[in-house]
């Protein structure tokens, strides 16, 4: 996933997202009534956000209740650098991997992994990842306790879009 051009969200889009954030199954009629707009407006806004991939709808599984109890950040070094993409292609196929990013520094790839237990995590790292061509080192950082696990804050999105709109209009924060 590359950094695509930002999608412009206005206050109504963010208000709709706020309703969906608290209840992804909330009827459009209820959202429309709460926001004082037509059902068609809500439907069109959500359709646009789905089409441009701003929002997706899925059932979020609680990994603890599903039997996944070992979480880790795994950093992977690949040599030579020409093998990084080949390693990425292999690693993204692993069902334990919930996030994969190319990073700078001593390692080339960062993944977040969710496993049943430490034996499963060990198998992932030493029986699969280390057998990928070019993998020369890994650093496994076990996550002992999750303190916060949420979607991106709508306030963060509001601030980003507000700053972007001011920048594009040529206004500074003091002028706004």
The verdict on 33 and 96 lying in the same domain is no
pLDDT score for 172: 44
Q: Do residues 138 and 129 make contact, with C-beta atoms less than 8 angstroms apart?
A: yes
141, β-bridge pairs:
73
The verdict on 95 and 55 lying in the same domain is no
The verdict on 54 and 108 lying in the same domain is no
The answer, yes or no, to whether the previous bond of 80 is cis (omega within 30 of 0) is yes
Q: Which residue has the tokens 């706020």?
A: 18
98 occurs within a structural domain: yes
73, β-bridge pairs:
112, 141
Task: Report the CATH number that the domain containing residue 114 is assigned in CATH.
Answer: 3.30.70.920
Average pLDDT over residues 144-170: 71
Q: What is the pLDDT of residues 41-70, one digit of tens each?
A: 999 999 999 999 888 877 777 787 788 899
pLDDT score for 39: 96
Q: Who has greater pLDDT, 12 or 168? A: 12
Q: Do residues 74 and 140 make contact, with C-beta atoms less than 8 angstroms apart?
A: yes
112 occurs within a structural domain: yes
Residue ranges in 23-98 assigned as alpha helix (H): 28-35, 39-51, 84-91
The verdict on 92 and 114 lying in the same domain is yes
Determine the structural domain holding residue 15 and report its residue range: 11-59+150-169
77 occurs within a structural domain: yes
Q: What is the pTM of this model?
A: 0.70
The verdict on 75 and 38 lying in the same domain is no
pLDDT score for 175: 42
Residue 165: pLDDT band (50, 70, 90) is low
> How many structural domains comprise the chain?
2
Task: Report the CATH number that the domain containing residue 46 is assigned in CATH.
Answer: 1.10.10.10
Q: In the 8-state DSSP scheme, what is residue 53?
A: T
48 occurs within a structural domain: yes
Q: Pick from 37, 45, 52: which is nearest to 20 by CA?
A: 45
pLDDT score for 75: 99
155 occurs within a structural domain: yes
User: Mean of the per-residue pLDDT values for the chain?
Assistant: 87
The verdict on 32 and 81 lying in the same domain is no
Q: What is the pLDDT of residues 75-122, one digit of tens each?
A: 999 999 999 999 999 999 999 999 999 999 999 999 999 999 999 999
65 occurs within a structural domain: no
């Amino acid at each position: 996933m590359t950094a695509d051009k930002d999608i412009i969200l206005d206050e109504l889009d963010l208000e709709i997202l706020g309703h969906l954030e608290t209840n992804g199954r909330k009827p459009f009629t209820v959202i429309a009534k709460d926001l004082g707009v037509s059902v068609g407006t809500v439907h069109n806004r959500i359709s646009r956000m789905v089409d441009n991939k701003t929002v997706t709808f899925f059932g979020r599984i609680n990994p603890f209740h599903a039997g996944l109890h070992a979480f880790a950040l795994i950093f992977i070094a690949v040599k030579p650098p020409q093998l990084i993409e080949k390693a990425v292609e292999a690693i993204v196929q692993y069902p334990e991997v919930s996030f994969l990013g190319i990073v700078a520094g001593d390692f080339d790839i960062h993944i977040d992994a969710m496993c049943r237990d430490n034996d499963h995590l060990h198998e992932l790292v030493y029986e699969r990842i280390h057998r990928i061509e070019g993998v020369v080192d890994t650093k496994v950082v076990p996550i002992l306790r999750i303190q916060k696990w949420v979607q991106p804050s709508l306030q963060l999105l509001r601030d980003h879009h507000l700053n972007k709109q001011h920048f594009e209009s040529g206004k500074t924060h003091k002028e706004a």
